[in-house]
Amino acid sequence: MAGTSAWLRRAAGARRAFSALRQGGLVPTQAHACHAITCTFAGPPQRRELHRGRRVDGASGNAVSSTWLEAPGASKLPPQVVKFVQDAVDLCKPAAVHVCNGSDAENQLMLDQLEQDGVVTKLAKRPGCYAARSDPADVARSMQDTFICSPEESDAGPLNNWVAPADMRAELGDLFDGCMAGRTMYVLPFCMGPLGAPAAKLCVQVTDSAYVVANLRIMTRMGDVALERIAAEGAIELVHSVGQPLGEGEKSVTWPCNIPKRKIVHFTDTKEVWSFGSGYGGNALLGKKCVALRIASMQAKEEGWLAEHMLILGITSPEGVKRYICAAFPSACGKTNLAMLKPSLPGWKVECVGDDIAWLRFDETGQLRAINPENGFFGVAPGTSYATNPSAVEMIRTNTLFTNCGITEDGDVYWEGMKDSPTSALTDWKGNENWAPQTGEDGKLANPAAHPNARFTVPLQQCPVLDDEWDGPNGVPIDAIVFGVRRDNTQPLVYETLGWEHGVFVGATMRSNATAAADGTGLENDPMAMQPFIGYNVKDYFDHWLKSPANAQANLAPGAELKVPKIFHTNWFIKDDEGGFLWPGYAENSRAIDWIFKRLADEEGTAEMSPIGWMPSNGALDIKSYAGDGMKGFGDAELERALAVDKERWLEECTEIRSYFTNKLMNGCDTPVPPQLFEQLDALEERLRHA
């Protein structure tokens, strides 16, 4: 367990360990309503300047408080957690400390406090549901403010922002010094993954945001349940602050943040995350993308597994054959909809294990297995409806936190894509009352009621199609991996790759239209849908994927045979000549899954070779059976177009891929792109030229 104070002492040198206040200035006061111990200044906090780790105002001595140890629950914390929290208290100087136990009573107290403070609105029409509005500047991930601070710049690679760890630690020391003044520090122990799973990872996060607490309680196994394993195994240390300390008597704004100084920092050698200035999503819920992908991807490389931005679903055919599939799509590209798919083809059943993150490893029998490290859904609200995801609509009727949705006067939420318009007056996600839709000069909606990245946070257990093995300690067996993109053209509806190495190449060269989940625009390279989340050099990441079967082979039990899953690629978002979507998608995606099942069973006559891989043969992808309204207007001609491989466009794609490999990935970074990927690119170009 990394000691928070240790790194700041190393980085700041002469600064004497986070003096909080004037000597002797901490006095405990009562805060029983939220089970916290409050630490009160003997006088107003001093304004200080920090210069190269040294105080320049002549402040001297420490007034380090240990009164937080009197807070309910503090006595249960393992010694290493006590040290971490003490270090954080000394640095951040909160007014109170609350040790979270994860109970229902505590959660209700938290929600009541958030409602009292105006952060959330209780929704009369949805039992147990609340809606929050963020600052309009704090609405999504911010990659320019996200850093991988590995020991060497080459370890971070060309796709990550890198700062030398010592420099970043000194900068963070200044940012976090006193950052929680006037606020409560919440201590959250939690587990990523099923509590009994050997592969689970333990964490402790401190934060000054009750909104974060309420969300993390849904997204993780949080509270006392995680402490036994933390005591035995240690934990990843996570520090988060909204970055808006309060002066004496100062009242907080509804959504505190400090966007100009926002930083989300990962120290991959010590497995720490520090986040400052944002209270939203993955910037603040540090167990999600920060731990479960960026830190976990580094751990996976070191330990021989894969941490991936993938959904996990179980699919049962009409014949009773059940298979599990992992699928990697960029954020806001339909992962949640696919994870809860209601098939249009009768007799098919889809059950959800997870919709966003998968941790995969080959076991000693040679089977690739996956667990979902999360305990909830953090789904995109706009576009969610009975037509697109009926299971999600049912799931979020109760016990859900909504963020940046429209709120109706009669106590409901609203977003674009719902079937029905709001039945009462509506306040939009920015707080503008009496919202009415306005059309811009381009003919599109100019003032959406909900932000395009508006979210719902809901417990996994509320999913009506939850798989029985969702919480299994050993995970589920994976038969196939699917990479998917959002492309207007070029990439066909579905195809099968030529094997593991070719499949890794296909995943490594994914390009997709940017979405509202991040702050990019246009067509972006997004290898394995992991570009924002790879915690180390992307070229080493590719190499790790390529070597995974061989590494697994070396660890098989005697007599076991390696079961390497097939890899497929999909694109539900092909555009027609009018700019609309050619493929109906949603429930009809079960037709592509039906074909994938045929390929997993090695059914003869179901595929034919193309330059890019195995394509559905004539009649193998069923568009005729039970073709209701969803397939209206989609016939053989449309299918031919959806499966077309345009030679010229693909040759242009190859040029873009080669430029990506040689220019983008080799720019200022000597780590080579694995030669197998260049070999696959050369082979693809050769097949296209001879097509």
Question: Does 460 fall in a domain?
Answer: no
Q: What is the pLDDT of residue 466?
A: 98
In a domain, 417, yes or no: no
Question: In this model, does residue 391 exceed pLDDT 50?
Answer: yes
Closest to 494 in 3D by CA, of 584, 587, 614, 586: 614
Lowest mean pLDDT, pick from 140-144, 196-200, 396-400 = 140-144
Q: Which residues pair with 427 in a beta bridge?
A: 407
Residues 39 and 28: their CA atoms lie apart, in Å, by 5
257 shares a domain with 350: no
pLDDT of residue 492: 98
Please report the pLDDT score of residue 1 as a whole number.
47
User: pLDDT tens digits for 95-137?
Assistant: 999 999 999 999 999 999 999 999 999 999 999 999 999 999 9
Percent of the chain exceeding pLDDT 70 equals 89
Q: Is the pLDDT of residue 38 over 80?
A: no
Quick check: 521 pLDDT over 70?
no
- Return the structure tokens found at 504: 């890794």
Task: From 303, 326, 348, give the residue that closes a domain.
Answer: 303
Place of tokens 């988060």: 240
pLDDT at 24: 30
Residue with tokens 């021989």: 304
Does 54 reside within a domain? yes
Distance, C-alpha 668 to centroid of its chain: 28
Token pair of 521 as six digits: 């625009």
294 and 323 part of one domain: no
Tell me the pLDDT tens digit for each residue of 640-653.
999 999 999 999 99
pLDDT in tens, 468-515: 999 999 999 999 999 999 999 999 999 999 999 999 999 999 999 986
Q: What is the mean pLDDT of residues 668-691?
A: 94
- Residue 393 falls within a domain, yes or no? no
> Under a CB-based contact definition with an 8 Å cutoff, are residues 9 and 17 in contact?
yes
Of 146, 545, 583, the residue nearest 334 (C-alpha): 583
- What pLDDT was estimated at residue 518? 54
Residues 129 and 189 in one domain: yes
Predicted TM-score of the model (pTM): 0.91
Confidence of residue 422 (pLDDT cuts 50, 70, 90): confident
Classify residue 440: in a domain, yes or no.
no
Q: Are strands 201-207 and 146-148 parallel, antiparallel or unpaired?
A: unpaired
Instruction: Work out the angle between the directed axes of helices 165-176 and 4-12 (0-180°, nearest 10).
Output: 110
Note whether 264 and 339 are same-domain residues.
Answer: no
pLDDT at 516: 60
- Do 330 and 477 share a structural domain? yes
**CATH code for the domain in which residue 491 is found:** 3.90.228.20
Handedness of CA 148, 153, 155, 161 (dihedral sign): positive
Q: Do 199 and 330 fall within a single domain? A: no
Element containing residue 592 per DSSP (H, E)? helix 590-600
Residue 303 has pLDDT above 80, yes or no: yes
Q: Name residues whose C-beta falls within 8 Å of residue 493's C-beta, 6 or more positions apart in sequence.
A: 570, 571, 572, 574, 583, 592, 621, 639, 642, 643
Based on the fold, state whether residues 236 and 113 are members of the same structural domain: yes
The catalytic residues are 141, 280, 289, 309, 331, 333, 356, 455
92/115 same-domain check: yes
Q: Which pLDDT score, from 0 to 100, does residue 147 have? A: 98
**pLDDT range class, residue 363, cuts 50, 70, 90:** very high
pLDDT in the model for residue 519:
56
Q: How far is residue 219 from each of residues 98, 282, 298, 373, 401, measured CA to CA in Å?
A: 19, 11, 22, 9, 11
Same domain? For 112 and 200 the reply is yes
Mean pLDDT, rounded, of the chain: 90
User: Is residue 434 one of the residues assigned to a domain?
Assistant: no
Q: In whole angstroms, what is the distance from residue 309 CA to residue 329 CA?
A: 7
When divided into structural domains, the chain yields a total of 2
Helix (H) or strand (E) holding 147: strand 146-148
Q: What is the pLDDT of residues 369-381, one digit of tens each?
A: 999 999 999 999 9
Domain residues for the domain of 317 are 306-376+466-646
- 185 and 311 in a single domain? The answer is no
| DSSP calls for 601-620 | TT-TTSEEEETTEEEEPTTT
Among 353-357, 386-390, 533-537, 623-627, name the one with the lowest average pLDDT: 623-627
Judgement on whether residues 351 and 244 belong to the same structural domain of the protein: no
The reply to whether 320 and 264 lie within a common domain is no
233: helix, coil or strand? helix
**Which residues neighbour 287 within 8 Å (Cβ) at sequence distance 6 or greater?**
190, 192, 203, 205, 216, 219, 220, 238, 374
> Which of 287, 303, 319 is a domain's end point?
303
Range 46-55, long-range pairs (CB < 8 A, 24+ positions): 46/21, 46/22, 48/177, 48/178, 50/15, 50/173, 50/174, 50/177, 52/170, 53/11, 53/12, 53/13, 53/14, 53/15, 53/170, 53/173, 54/12, 54/13, 54/14, 54/15, 55/15, 55/19
Give the residue-averaged pLDDT of 551-579: 96
What's the pLDDT score for residue 375?
A: 98
| 651 occurs within a structural domain | no
